[in-house]
Amino acid sequence: MTYHNYLISYDAFSSVQFEAKLLGFVKENGKIAAWSRPYLGLYLVKSDQDLLSVRESFFSFFGDQTAFVVCPISKFTLLGILPAETWNWLSKDTENELIQWSESY
């Protein structure tokens, strides 16, 4: 199975009151195979689902409570400063690689 990377960015200041609920939602979301939160307001997730499906799952959580965006990303289309582990995580795109990487950290 191949996974796609998605960036989910949201207004962390307006959503502070439900940050713990959001983390629970991400952990229990059946469409998310793995996730990383480099900092408040940003989740990087892996899913075998398409963009619309992932977006709809987050819309079910956020609704009209806060602004958010979901977009597909790859290690080669994302520029910025993130922890080295996050860059390594982004390059893993199969179930075997993801499981092996997760078990090593």
CATH code of 10's domain:
3.30.70
Instruction: Give pLDDT tens digits for 23-75.
Output: 889 989 889 988 888 888 889 999 999 999 999 999 999 888 788 999 998 77
The pLDDT value recorded for residue 79 is 78
| Ramachandran bin of 80, using left for φ above 0, alpha for ψ from -120 to 50, beta for the remaining angles | left
Does pLDDT of 100 surpass 80?
no
- How many domains does the structure of the chain reveal? 1
pTM of the model: 0.80
Give the residue numbers spanning the domain of 75.
4-104
**CB contact at 8 A, 66 and 11:** yes
Classified as helix, coil or strand, 93 is coil
